[in-house]
Structures are given as structure tokens and as C-alpha cells.
Structure 1
Amino acid sequence: MRNFKFKRSLTLIAVTSLLSITIVSIPTVAQAAPACDGKSPVQTCGGATSDGAPYAMMVPANFNGTVYLYSHGYRPNVPVPAGIPGYGGYTVTNTPQPGPNETVIGALLAKGYGVVGSGFARQGWNADSAIKTNVELVGLFKKQFTKTTKVVAWGESLGGFITQALAEKHSDLFSAAAPLCMASDVTPLMTMAGDALWGLKTFFDPTIKGGNYSAGTAGYAEAMGDLVKVFTVIGTLQAAFAANPSTPAWPATSKVPDAIKGIPSRSALVMVALMSGIPMQSAHFDSTSAPAGLPASNTLSFQVAINPAFAALENVANAAALAVLATHDLELQAGGAIFDNTATDYAARIAEEQFIWASALSGNSGTGGLLSVLAASPRAKASPAAVAKLKTLGSHSGKVDIPTILLTGTADPITTAGNQQSVVDKYATYWADKWVAARKAGDRKRPANNQLVLWNFPSAKYSKYTAAGAPDTSVPAASGTNHCNFTTSQYMAVAELLAYAADNGKNLSGGPMLTKIRKAGNMTYDRGYSAPQLKYYGG
């Protein structure tokens, strides 16, 4: 098979896609009342809640009484030194963000809606404090703008987690909510990330610490060192894949037995993705396409063995980056190591997937060899006290009594679709219990099902290739892939659905709802679809 060269390096979303867009800059000193500029047609107010978290309010002159409270996603709680690939040079910021982006904010203001958002007092995993901040912020907004009649909550990623929690715990404050590409229970989320990082360590560079970081500055240095090593491995694999996609070389840092190195390194990376539960469609690789003009046998090989490895390369890079930053953050909060795979059976973990992706794993012999490495490698052991503490840092009950709208990409490599599905399943149980209780009470009317679940599916084929037949990663990420990869049209469709729900006490349904999401593009309502659950195994 011919060699393939990338037009440019793979796009790594890592944490940069989780960072907020700067909308306004306001004072961070706590104050009793917002400081407003009094401008027209849009008035901007700033201040800080009692915990010191800065906020921004934007209200048009024709304010219609409905305000959108936005919660931003995960921001690292430590700076990332310049020079680290992907997102080096990040500085911790608590700049408030009152909406997904400036275009969406402007469109909402033009329609007469207000927008508000906090920068939060702490970055990193901050669900508990962010919830309290937002509750206080709602009160401040209503006091400043007394014509407020309805508040809707929305947010992305960790902000989606926060939004879901607000809907569950403070439904009296909100008329509707939209958790987007949400993070769900933190324990399975970090298990996915931890498995990805441990897999890279095991197959490609055993000097990656991968957690159980030291206290203080030493631990910070270890985490930043891990980031460098992760992206060094990814870069080395990328070069090897481009040079010889059929049998790419293993990184020099790998210490797997020589016999295992007879298996292409691409198969080991596919194993890492599958055992972690990371999607096998990525920003630029659909796991089914091949360049035009290849002989039939080479076309099939590219489709079933090589394209999936490229997809795994993009997605594992992002999951491993999350693992380093979030693990360091959450270990500090939990007081010790939080990832434990001492009892994980990775053969059982991929029991179904190994047949679907047999060619990408190099067949039964390749699968067996890779599993033997996992079985023989030293495992990571967590601190029981830290694990117990981690479980207190956030989970969802699914018990929501206001209209909610959920949307996620089914190939999101950070907050995988299983995060949304877990909340869908919990709500289904809650609704079923309510129905049983109603029947026992003699009420034959079914409770309202007020959860609207939307999915963003990637196309079956979307990989692009240059005239020379090389994968082209310069094109934008495909819809349904990458983290919270939504268009302005999709954001606005969700915003309009929220407005309807707030005004009517229920979600839009039937033809009008289907028409709205069809016009937005790449949004699907499918009652029969259920996303795979997160690959979390207790013990």
C-alpha cells in the first residue's frame, strides 16, 4: 500500500475547546449590586457574587422578561506552560461568559432576551460551588431587573452538568433547562479518562505517571510532564501512521515485549480507545472511508483497519489530555489517587467490540497479544478515601420536573454520548415511578414526560482526502464529532425550544418541533435510539 502523508498535523481539541470565549471584562471585587453601564440598546452589568465569582449581565432595552443563565465548561485550575502542544500558554481565568458565543448572545439580545453568566469562583471541577453561585446570581438578576418573569438555564460540558443539577435541585427558580454535551457522574467520566491514559502508558511510554500525583508544586510538575509525554507519544504515532499506515512502527519509548511489536502500533491504539469507551468516529475519520483510486484489497484494508486507527488517534489524544488535567485537579480535591483498575477485566470490557473491530485490532492473534500486555502490566490503585470523596463531588438523580432539552454529539470524545444516556435512563426511571404512584393513588392520567432528547449523529462517511490520497485534516470537524461541536443554528434552535418550554410549561412536540430541528441541521429526535453506556466497571 502506498504511504500517506497528512496535509497538516491532526487537530487536537484537548482542553482548548472547553475554554470559554471572552465576552466582556468586568470588575472581580464583590459588590452588593451590579455596576451597570446604562447603555442602549443593550445594557451591560458586572459584579461578583458573595464567593467572589465575577458575573456579566446583558439586557436589551426591549427586555421581554426571560433571561438565559449560561454555565461555561471545564477550565483547567492550573496554568499550562507555553510550548505544550495543543493548548500551551493557558492562564487560569474566571472571566464570566453569558452565552455560548458572541453570535448567539447577539441573536438572543436582538429578540429581547437577557443573558447572564458567571466566571465561577474556582476553575476545574467546580459543580457544587457553581450551583450555589448561579442560584445567587439568579436572585441578583431579578433584583436588578424587576420585570424578569422567567429564567432558563443552559450550559455545555461541565456547564451541562451544572445545568442538569440546577434543574434537579432548584426547579423553583427555572422555567426550563438545556444541559448540552453534558458531563454526567464524575466517577465513570474519570474512569474513561483514566483508562485512556493508563492505556497510553502501558503500550507506549511507561514513564507517564498517569495519576497519584505528588502534593504541591511537585505534583503540578508531574502533571505537566505527563502532558508533554502524552503529546509526544501522539505525535510519534501520528508520524508513524502517516509513514506506513499498514504497519506503523512503535514509539521508541514503548517497552512492550518484542513479540508484541509484531502487531502494528495502530492496533494498540484502537485497543486503548475500545477499552476506554472512546468513540470510533473522530473529527476527520469516519472509520469506514478510503481514498479513491486504491486497489480493491487496499481499499478494504484502509476502511476496516487504518481509518479506525486514525480516528482512535484523534480521540484518544483528547481523552488522555482530559485525564491528566482533570485527574490532577480531582486528586487535589479528593485528597489522593482516584483511578483504580486493579479489578478491571479488559477482556470483558471489549468482549463485543473485538469482533466489530477485528481487522483494526489485527485479528484474534493481535487482540489476544494486546490483552496479554494489559493483563500482565502493573495496575493503578486508588485511595479508598479519595474514591469516596470523589463520589460526593457530583452526580445526577435524573429527577426533573421542569421541561429539559438534551443535545449531544454521538461521537464526542470527551463527554461521550453515554453521559447523556445515563441522565435519560435515570429520568425514565423517575417518570415510571411517578406513573406507578399516580395509578396507586387512583389517577389514570400519565404524568407529563417533559424531557426532549436530541442527538447529533455524524454522517456514515465524511473523511476527506487530498488529490494525492492523503487524509485531509485541514477541513472542519464533522458534525456530531469533537467536543460540544455545535453550530449557531443548533444553539439558536435549542434557545427557541427553551423559550417555548418556558412560556408553555412543556416542550414543543410533534411536527413543529421536528421542523425546527430539521431547519437547524444535524439534530435528530429518535425515541428508539439509546447510546452505549459509559464503560465503567465497579471494583
Structure 2
Amino acid sequence: MTTDSATPAAHTRRTRTRRRTRTACAAAFLLAVTALPASTAAAADTTHVDGRLPSGATYMMDVPAQWNGTVLLFSHGYASGPANPAQNAPDDATKALLLRGGYALVGSSYATTGWAVTDAVPDQLATLSAFTERFGTASRTIAWGRSYGGLVTTAIAERSPDRIDGSLSLCGLVHGGVANWNNTLDPVFALKTLLAPGSDVPLVDIADQAAADDAADELTSVVDSAQTTAEGRARIALAAALHNIPVWNQPTQTRPAPSDWDAQQANQYEAVKGLLQIAAFNRRQESEARAGGNMSWNTGVDYARLLGMSSVYKEVTELYKKAGLSLRADLAALNRAPRIGADPDAVAWMSRTSSFTGELTKPQLSVHTVGDALVPVQTESALKRAVTAAGSASLLRQAYTDNAGHCTFSPAEQLAALHTLEDRLTTGKWTGTDPESLNSRATKADPTTPTRYAPYRPTPYLRPYDLAHPADGR
């Protein structure tokens, strides 16, 4: 499993110690598995291959006896390590359906964990080459991936379009790396400024993972205390709005009524804690280490303007009224607070490796759940902005499932997306991308799991950055 699913509960040091022990055991198990012979039979009618690339990445391939000629190159999500298994499908149920349909499935571990795009793209392409050497040239190659794997897939689509025929991103970081880290900075900047102005918790330039753990725990404790007061809850909602955290963001949550502001905020509170414990500090520190410094900034940002564009602006205004708190004063405090500047070299690295031009030459279908707190659905607006500016809009289609959570797609929904992309590759034109057609196709592909495609248009991504708009900056 990847570690991309948001965990809302705060993690204590004891929990982290147990997790490290479990992942160390998993890593040992992986080493034992890769010591086995390279080719084994996964099933009577499927050839399973495990291997290792010169980079050190492992890969896995599953090829059914009745291969239909299509190979699916799967890019997995962000893995924290040390366990780093290869993956060639998003989940076991979808994998079984794809193999039954005759698809060959391939994917690598990437040579390293974390923000590993500089390893992931070449390792994925090397895995594709290894597949061709063993099984022959595919009649069609489709790159696909989930979450961080959506970023890897889009990077492949832009930089190596000659290796694939089309691409499918599921809940992907299709807004790119710089935009991601800018938008991750804004909510924690608001929390620290409004809830803990005297704190010295570092938001950027985090020394190591121990410092990241301490920062996450400190700010989580502040948020827990703030949640006990009406004023604190309003300010948490404001921070959530700056990340476009939806008011329904986990399948286990009750979907709040449109004007149930308290229930909406309670759901966001859990997601805010998940953001603190996952991306805002631990993953930031790992990414900063790769980039060589802080790659995000809020110099020149008008937080009143950002809030005005947020998908949950109304909720914030209502909670501030209920608390008897001045929203204008808090926004003024944010805009007066000392700003954070970026390291230009780190920005250049993140931009060069992890941001997009929007220049597609092969069709791409991008699918998102509407209730994603970790990678908000507004990332799709950022992708469309870049692709439109680059003149590639005719090659992109986007679709949405009416469900909460990060990457909570059913097998039926994933197969429907794949088949829709395949139709585009076969006919040369997009058809059946509307929700009704997608749901019909999903039901046919797998009548046992949900079909929830729905009409949806995301609000703007609040902090876009792409290579099609070079004027974006500090």
C-alpha cells in the first residue's frame, strides 16, 4: 500500500516508533521476495515476473496468457519508506479485473522513496523497456498512476510521449510540485500566525525528520486546543479554506448539510490534522532535502483575495459571525505577518523536475474525487489552466466522482476511465466522457462496485504555478 491516504488522527511518538518497526519488517520481507527466481506463475494463466533495474529499483510484471496487446504502466503514489515494493496496479480487485480483461500490467518501486520523480520517471521507462525485451512490443502502451503517481504519469506524458499512446491520472498531483508546496504552506502559515503567534515552530527549512515530527506535534496540539472554542474553530476553518479542504473529505464522515457550518468544520478539523501530520512537515522536509532548500513562498500573497476564491468561503464567513470574531482583522493580521521567501535554487529544481508545461501530444484523461483533502480537486483547475495556455486542451478530458477521500475510486470507476481513454485512442476523438456514459461503462465493467461519476466543475486552484505561465512568481 502507498502512504497517500490522509490519516486524520494525531500521531504520537509511540505510534511512529511502531510504524517504523512495521515498515522495517516489510522492507526485510521485500528483500526476501526479490531474492526469489525472477519469474514465477502468479496464476495458472498469468506469467508473473519480478526483477531489479540497474538503479536498484525493483519491478513487477503480470502478463495474462491471452494478452490483448495493451500494456499498462502503473506509477504508484508517494511512499515514505523504508519499505518500497514495486506496484503494477492500484489495488488487488482492479488488478484481477484487468488481468481477466487481457491487459499486461507493469510497474516499478522507483529507486528511492519520497519525492522521487527524478528516479521514478527513468525507472518507469526502464521497466517498460524490460517488458518489451521479454514479451515483445505492445500494440498500445498506456501510462497511468494515482496520487503522486499521477504527477509521475503526467511527467512521462510531457517528457517521453514517444514511449506511450495515452495517459490516465487518478487523484493526481497534476498541479505540479511548486504549486503543491506553495498551497501546503498557506494553511500552516495561517494556523501559526492566528493560533500560535509566539511559537518558533519552523514552517520551512526543516532540519530533519525528527524536527518535522516535533513541528507537526506542536502545531497539532495547538489545533486541538483551538478546536475547543468558537474562535479557534473559525480560524481552523480559515486555514482549511486556504487549502480548499472540502467539508466532506472521508468516506466515514457524514456528508454535512449545505448550511451545517459546525459539521462542515468538524470534518475539516480532522483533515487539517492529517495535513499537519503527513505533508506539511514530514513530506516537506524530505522534499526540501531533495531540492536543496525551501521551494515555496508566500511573499506577495493577498490572503483576503485567496479566501475570496476558496470553495468554502461562505462557511468561513458564517463561523466567524457565529464566533463574534472579525474576519477582516484576521486577514489583515495574515497580510501583515512576516512572509516566507523561497530559495531560488530550490524553486528552480522543483520547477525543472516537478512542474508542467501543459504541452500534451498524446491524450490524457484526469479523474478526481470531489472530496479530496490531501490533493484537493482544484488541482484539476491548475492542470486545465496549463494545458489550455499550451494549446493542448483538445487532448485533455477531466471527470469527477462524487465521493469523499483521497483516491477512493472503485474498480468499476477506474476501468470506466481506462476504457474511455482507450476509445479516444482507437477513434481519434473523445466520446462518452459525460457522467452518464462513464457510469454506464463502469457498471458494465464491474457491476459489483459503486459508480459515482457526477457533473462537477472545480473552483480555481488558489496558488497555481506551471511552465506555461512563466510570469508566475514571488
The one-character-per-residue Cα deviations of 1:73-131 (angstroms, maximum 9, x if unpaired) are: 1122xxxxxxxxxxxxxx42220011000111111111111111111011111223211
Residue in 2 that maps onto 1:362: 321
| Match status 1:273 vs 2:240 | yes
1:452 pairs, out of 373, 390, 397, with: 397
Q: State the distance in 2 between where 1:347 and 1:330 align.
A: 28
2:405 pairs, out of 482, 497, 509, with: 482
Say which SS state the counterpart of residue 211 (structure 1) adopts. coil
Alpha-carbon distance change, 140 to 454 in structure 1, aligned in 2, over 3 angstroms = same
Question: CA offset at residue 304 of structure 1?
Answer: 4.5
Say which SS state the counterpart of residue 225 (structure 1) adopts. helix
Residue in 2 that maps onto 1:338: 295
Residue in 2 that maps onto 1:54: 58
2:451 pairs, out of 499, 513, 521, with: 521
Residue in 2 that maps onto 1:422: 382
- Residue pair 1:28, 1:54 contacting (<8 A) in 2 also: no
The one-letter code sitting in structure 1 at the alignment partner of 2:294 is A
The one-letter code sitting in structure 1 at the alignment partner of 2:192 is K
| Match status 1:311 vs 2:262 | no
Q: State the distance in 1 between where 2:416 and 2:291 align.
A: 39
Alpha-carbon distance change, 265 to 491 in structure 1, aligned in 2, over 3 angstroms = same
Q: State the distance in 2 between where 1:116 and 1:531 align.
A: 35
The one-character-per-residue Cα deviations of 1:466-523 (angstroms, maximum 9, x if unpaired) are: xxxxxxxxxxxxx1x2211211221222233344344445444378556325776211
Alpha-carbon distance change, 312 to 362 in structure 1, aligned in 2, over 3 angstroms = farther
| Match status 1:221 vs 2:210 | yes
The one-letter code sitting in structure 1 at the alignment partner of 2:116 is N
Q: State the distance in 1 between where 2:343 and 2:391 align.
A: 36
1:139 pairs, out of 119, 129, 147, with: 129
Residue in 2 that maps onto 1:99: 89
Alpha-carbon distance change, 167 to 339 in structure 1, aligned in 2, over 3 angstroms = closer
| Match status 1:180 vs 2:170 | yes
Say which SS state the counterpart of residue 371 (structure 2) adopts. coil
1:387 pairs, out of 347, 352, 363, with: 347
The one-character-per-residue Cα deviations of 1:133-171 (angstroms, maximum 9, x if unpaired) are: 111111110111126322111101110011112122222
- Residue pair 2:304, 2:331 contacting (<8 A) in 1 also: yes
Say which SS state the counterpart of residue 327 (structure 1) adopts. helix
Q: State the distance in 2 between where 1:209 and 1:220 align.
A: 12
The one-letter code sitting in structure 1 at the alignment partner of 2:326 is G
Matches within 5 A, 1:41-440: 41-76=45-80, 91-146=81-136, 148-183=138-173, 184-205=175-196, 206-214=199-207, 219-237=208-226, 240=228, 248=229, 264-283=231-250, 284=253, 286-288=255-257, 303-320=259-276, 321-351=278-308, 354=313, 357-362=316-321, 365-431=325-391
Stretches of structure 2 that go unaligned for 5 or more consecutive residues are 1-6, 445-449, 465-471
Alpha-carbon distance change, 524 to 450 in structure 1, aligned in 2, over 3 angstroms = farther
Q: State the distance in 2 between where 1:412 and 1:269 align.
A: 18
Q: State the distance in 2 between where 1:234 and 1:26 align.
A: 40
Q: State the distance in 2 between where 1:230 and 1:494 align.
A: 39
Alpha-carbon distance change, 49 to 13 in structure 1, aligned in 2, over 3 angstroms = farther
Alpha-carbon distance change, 401 to 381 in structure 1, aligned in 2, over 3 angstroms = closer
Alpha-carbon distance change, 416 to 191 in structure 1, aligned in 2, over 3 angstroms = same
**Structure number, greater radius of gyration:** 1
- Residue pair 1:277, 1:535 contacting (<8 A) in 2 also: no
Say which SS state the counterpart of residue 208 (structure 1) adopts. coil
Alpha-carbon distance change, 306 to 512 in structure 1, aligned in 2, over 3 angstroms = closer
Alpha-carbon distance change, 28 to 402 in structure 1, aligned in 2, over 3 angstroms = farther
- Residue pair 1:131, 1:165 contacting (<8 A) in 2 also: yes
Residue in 2 that maps onto 1:500: 423
Q: State the distance in 2 between where 1:58 and 1:507 align.
A: 29
- Residue pair 2:415, 2:442 contacting (<8 A) in 1 also: no
Q: State the distance in 1 between where 2:425 and 2:33 align.
A: 31
Q: State the distance in 2 between where 1:73 and 1:495 align.
A: 18
- Residue pair 2:171, 2:367 contacting (<8 A) in 1 also: yes
Q: State the distance in 1 between where 2:161 and 2:387 align.
A: 15
Q: State the distance in 2 between where 1:375 and 1:451 align.
A: 37
Alpha-carbon distance change, 375 to 406 in structure 1, aligned in 2, over 3 angstroms = closer
Residue in 1 that maps onto 2:469: none
Q: State the distance in 2 between where 1:352 and 1:427 align.
A: 21
The one-character-per-residue Cα deviations of 1:325-357 (angstroms, maximum 9, x if unpaired) are: 221012112222233224322222223555563
- Residue pair 2:416, 2:438 contacting (<8 A) in 1 also: no
The one-letter code sitting in structure 1 at the alignment partner of 2:162 is D
Q: State the distance in 1 between where 2:158 and 2:35 align.
A: 28
Say which SS state the counterpart of residue 124 (structure 2) adopts. helix
Say which SS state the counterpart of residue 345 (structure 2) adopts. helix
Question: CA offset at residue 394 of structure 1?
Answer: 1.2
Say which SS state the counterpart of residue 319 (structure 2) adopts. coil
> What's the TM-score, normalizing by structure 2?
0.81
Residue in 2 that maps onto 1:446: none
Say which SS state the counterpart of residue 360 (structure 1) adopts. helix
- Give the RMSD, CA atoms, in angstroms: 3.2
Q: State the distance in 2 between where 1:44 and 1:147 align.
A: 18
Q: State the distance in 2 between where 1:152 and 1:95 align.
A: 21
Alpha-carbon distance change, 27 to 428 in structure 1, aligned in 2, over 3 angstroms = farther
- Residue pair 1:29, 1:52 contacting (<8 A) in 2 also: no
Q: State the distance in 1 between where 2:172 and 2:294 align.
A: 24
Q: Which moved more, 1:193-202 or 1:42-51?
A: 193-202
Residue in 2 that maps onto 1:465: none
The one-letter code sitting in structure 2 at the alignment partner of 1:350 is L
The one-letter code sitting in structure 2 at the alignment partner of 1:37 is T
Alpha-carbon distance change, 391 to 318 in structure 1, aligned in 2, over 3 angstroms = same
Q: Which moved more, 1:366-375 or 1:322-331?
A: 366-375
- Residue pair 1:409, 1:484 contacting (<8 A) in 2 also: yes
Percent same amino acid among aligned pairs?
23
Say which SS state the counterpart of residue 63 (structure 2) adopts. strand
Say which SS state the counterpart of residue 67 (structure 1) adopts. strand
The one-character-per-residue Cα deviations of 1:294-328 (angstroms, maximum 9, x if unpaired) are: xxxxxxxxx45312321321232233331112210
Stretches of structure 1 that go unaligned for 5 or more consecutive residues are 1-9, 77-90, 241-247, 249-262, 290-302, 434-448, 458-478
Question: CA offset at residue 207 of structure 1?
Answer: 4.1
> What's the TM-score, normalizing by structure 1?
0.72
Q: State the distance in 1 between where 2:83 and 2:134 align.
A: 26
Say which SS state the counterpart of residue 119 (structure 2) adopts. helix
- Residue pair 2:360, 2:392 contacting (<8 A) in 1 also: no
